Structure 1
Amino acid sequence: MCQLLGMNCATPTDITFSFRGFSQRAGITSDHCDGFGIAFFEDKACRLFVDNQSAVESPIAELIRNYPIKSRNVIAHIRKATQGKINLENSHPFSRELWGRQWIFAHNGDLHDFDPALSGRFTPVGNTDSERAFCYLLDQLVNKFGYTEPSLDQVFDLLTDVSPRIAEHGTFNFCLSNGQALFSYAITKLHWLVREYPFKPAQLIDIDVEVDFSQVTTADDRVAVITTEPLTQNEAWTAFAPGEMILFQYGKAIRHQMTHVERLIREAKDPSLKRVTKADQY
């Protein structure tokens, strides 16, 4: 299973602390070694770094661990491949332009028999189920709203309608951002927390590093962190419920919505129907 890391902030913030722990899972504390990527938004555009090397070995990842790029919205991904070759075009996050903004998407999971008709406006570069799902989501946004940019609430409502339909094909956990906010959806594992004033120390799980955030923040700072597995051992992380969508803006969760996934109901009634793949092994 791939792992996700997202950050949404009230003020531009660097992700070096969280990424230092997260990247250990790419070959030291876990085996998500099939590439990594990270995107930092700056208004409508973003800095996107991807590599088909693991986040433990990649010189690009070493730069990210040590160079504090500040952003209000960040999405990172470490890959454990289930579909598609281990190469650059299959490395998350994926990027596309829509309504004059870059959109960034990263997914963990494994979608079976998912081959939707695409309009051609958004075309996969690689051969992953994840990139197909991203192109399909963007197609649905254009089909619904045309070329007039909708509000974040309208995007959220469409995502809560379309995402459970994709999730009928398998595990579908994702982070999506257009630089204004961050949308997160979970079918299996995803956790989140908000750090805000008064800040406290945090201790990483995957490496012996601690930061006292009260010494490096102000009262105006507020940071929401979203990740597959909790990154710290002394903070209270909240697990997403299966089928939950959350919209994060200005460092806080501003909307929650539960979605209805028929497959999960069938599997709860008859566990023999549940298909466990490499994508479900963390």
Structure 2
Amino acid sequence: MCELLGMSANVPTDIRFSFAALARRGGETGPHADGWGISFYENHGCRSFHDPEPSARSELAKLLRNYPIKSRIVIAHVRKANRGRVSLENTHPFSRELWGRRWTFAHNGQLKGVKKLPLGGFAPIGSTDSEHAFCWMMGRLQARFRTLPKPALLDRAVADLAADLHGRGVFNMLLSDSRTLYAHCGKRLCYLTRRAPFGTATLIDEDWRVDFATETTDRDVVSVVATQALTRDESWTDLDRGAVLTLRDGAIRLLKPGNPASAAVPLEPPAC
């Protein structure tokens, strides 16, 4: 399967450290050699980069490792193709406009029968089941709300749609509208939150160690979601299958399947 990486922070944050580990898994320390992409939100704007080449050997990925783009929400993906040929149009993350916001989506796993779902006003460009699922979600949200709803209502709607797709196969997902990062665990996702007092971290996939105390302030809060742990000396928390996280400004809330949005549970992981 593919691998996902997401970040939510309360201040613009450099994700080069985590992205370096993910990129190595795209054809070097991992088999995900069928393309990669990353999207950075800057307020309501979104800057995206895609490459159908393996990220471990991509000149564009090397550029981003040396280019400190700071963002409060990031979604990244390295692909192991199982449906849809290796091509630029099949490279995640995918994006669409809804309610004047740029939505970005990345997925790993396989979904059965998803291409039979009606799409409403959104159509896929490529041939993946992932992009079809994304277009279906956008169509359902547009049909349910005429304008951008309040966060709690939107949280519940996204969780409901994710639960539907969860029943169709493996649906590990990252989704954002520039305000919130949503993460759904279909089989495997984990997360951590970095906050004061900050410590050091070492990547699993290469020899890179960072002392976050020298890179941050006491007010910074940064949460990272990944398919598998990226560092060897931090405490990553595994998500239960079917769980949905909402991340805003680095703060994480857990939406338990079947519970109303008002019952979302704040998660306060220990500082790392």
TM-score, normalised by the number of residues in structure 2: 0.93
Partner of 1:238: 237
Matched, 1:166 2:202: no
Displacement of 1:197? 0.8
Partner of 2:261: none
Matched, 1:31 2:31: yes
Could you tell me which of 257, 260, 265 is aligned with 1:259? Answer: 257
Partner of 2:70: 70
2-side partners of 1:89 and 1:123: how far apart?
13
Q: Which amino acid aligns with 1:117?
A: P
Gaps of 5+ in 2: 259-272
Q: Which amino acid aligns with 1:69?
A: I
Q: Secondary structure at the match of 1:27?
A: coil
1-side partners of 2:214 and 2:163: how far apart?
42
Counterparts of 1:118-129 in structure 2 under 5 Å? Answer: 118-119=119-120, 121-129=121-129
2-side partners of 1:151 and 1:183: how far apart?
15
Q: Secondary structure at the match of 1:56?
A: helix
Partner deviation per Cα, 1:39-91 (whole Å, 9 max, x = no partner): 00011111010010011111111111111100000000000011101000000
Q: Secondary structure at the match of 1:47?
A: strand
Displacement of 1:258? 2.3
1-side partners of 2:213 and 2:13: how far apart?
14
Partner of 2:268: none
Partner of 1:201: 200
Partner of 1:145: 145
TM-score, normalised by the number of residues in structure 1: 0.89
Partner of 2:226: 227
Partner deviation per Cα, 1:3-30 (whole Å, 9 max, x = no partner): 0000000100010000111111011111
Query: Size of the alignment, in residue pairs?
Result: 257
Partner deviation per Cα, 1:183-237 (whole Å, 9 max, x = no partner): 0000110000000111000010010110000011111211000000000011000
Q: Secondary structure at the match of 1:170?
A: coil
Q: Give percent identity, aligned residues only.
A: 45
Displacement of 1:154? 1.2
Q: Secondary structure at the match of 1:134?
A: helix
Q: Which amino acid aligns with 2:118?
A: A
1-side partners of 2:180 and 2:142: how far apart?
19
Gaps of 5+ in 1: 261-282
Q: CA RMSD in A?
A: 0.9
1-side partners of 2:151 and 2:24: how far apart?
34
2-side partners of 1:159 and 1:102: how far apart?
15
Q: Which amino acid aligns with 1:153?
A: A
1-side partners of 2:81 and 2:87: how far apart?
10
1-side partners of 2:25 and 2:14: how far apart?
20
Partner of 1:269: none
Q: Which runs of 4+ in 1 moved over 2 A?
A: none
Q: Which amino acid aligns with 1:51?
A: D
Counterparts of 1:18-57 in structure 2 under 5 Å? Answer: 18-57=18-57
1-side partners of 2:227 and 2:27: how far apart?
16
